[in-house]
Structure 1
């Protein structure tokens, strides 16, 4: 078996590879475990070795444009080595500047510290182990030491996604939000060309056509200005406090329900500018409430300097 100090290189080689790739097989063999099994877009599979302090997962769905959309190879979903948890007994190489003995104050002095997730855990963003990956350390607040490292294929927060083969009518409300983002300087300045933005402003296209066309069916973190990322994530994914200050509840109040939740045969909200004009003021209201601190994300506590625009 490969020694523990060699596992970091094998892990970094395997992350982002198909589970049937040689790099994935080499990692499993070095860990002394059976190869990865296939996953699905709604599940993940794991291999691990507690003695080595390493657990590695694979999934068919990674929120990264290079891996979108999930796809099948024959009857099975293509599965990718997606992320790994590294524990304090791991003896391989660690990200620069990180050490298991560092406490909260020392970690916060070296790395970006944020409170994240439904459990409101303290996490630190570490230097990427290589291009295309990201790493975070989670604090064990009882011990005041790191609990584990998460190393994964870099992902974006996904605010709206039109999946191939899905019913476009289910994304009408997402189209409204995407169009509002474009018209209110929420999208990155370089995300759209002048013609696409002019067509939207002049209403020569519809909101859903804008989302499915110029945005390619995706309204993800990489599409918006950094200062708006936490707002968009919380609003679009029903992670706002109070709970009613989110896209789903606003759609229900104005249109009766979101199209995705309509029953078969029930009339759906149409993709037109009249409906956009009904809901757009609510989006502006929510952003204003966010800026005043009247609503907030339940899963992300941005630092004060996050209000600065870095694009």
Structure 2
């Protein structure tokens, strides 16, 4: 009640993840640690890719954009959660909420397309190595990355405008830890079923199609690897593909389940739990799974550490 009395009629209230219990304090501390690690891991990866010539290839170029998206994504959500928890307030302005929706949808959509582009890169590299320079030239990688950003931004602009134009006649308390479209639609006093039906088209484009392409790419990669005579090569490929698919499923699975269900099937606790996977956990895992298990990245890291006077001491 104190929060609601202190806010203007255009402000929203984020119910959030945490209460004032000791368990919430532990969870809040864990969130802060994950946030710092995510920023450090992704920033380090971008630095390594930019500074080491061995990493100047289409695969690492796409990885650097994935890391940038992950940095922006957690920075769009976690600092507001931390600020609200420490200040004891849970409010967010209408403009702030709109910006969260816009940036979140831009990055979520862009990352879906970028992950599909990265799986295509691996498919070409392993299944058609002699044509890799043609199919994945520097120009192609730039177009793929730029397309992910541009299409994600255009899609986000449309959905943000639609989500915010609905009247919110009753409670303005969003039962979530950030402004997300499904949670906000539940506050509208206007029927949103027509918008939800039209939104399925973009959800198919950004969720089902990329996930299907990624799955098909890794199936082809595994079939190609099975034909190799080296058991060591097969083992490494199986290990890499399995780790990649785990991250892809952790990202797409909750994302698809959240955005492709009708509004009436959404429950706050379930939505918040699922959102943790694609907003907080996968950005922290992506650098480890896609990069820091890679020999070239580890060599670049050793080179940077070896050239650092402080590291030599």
Aligning the two structures, in what range does the TM-score lie when normalised by the shorter sequence? under 0.3
The structure carrying a bigger helix percent of its residues is 2
Q: What TM-score, normalized to structure 2?
A: 0.24
The structure carrying a bigger strand percent of its residues is 1
Higher relative contact order (CA 8 A, sep 6+): 2
Q: What TM-score, normalized to structure 1?
A: 0.24
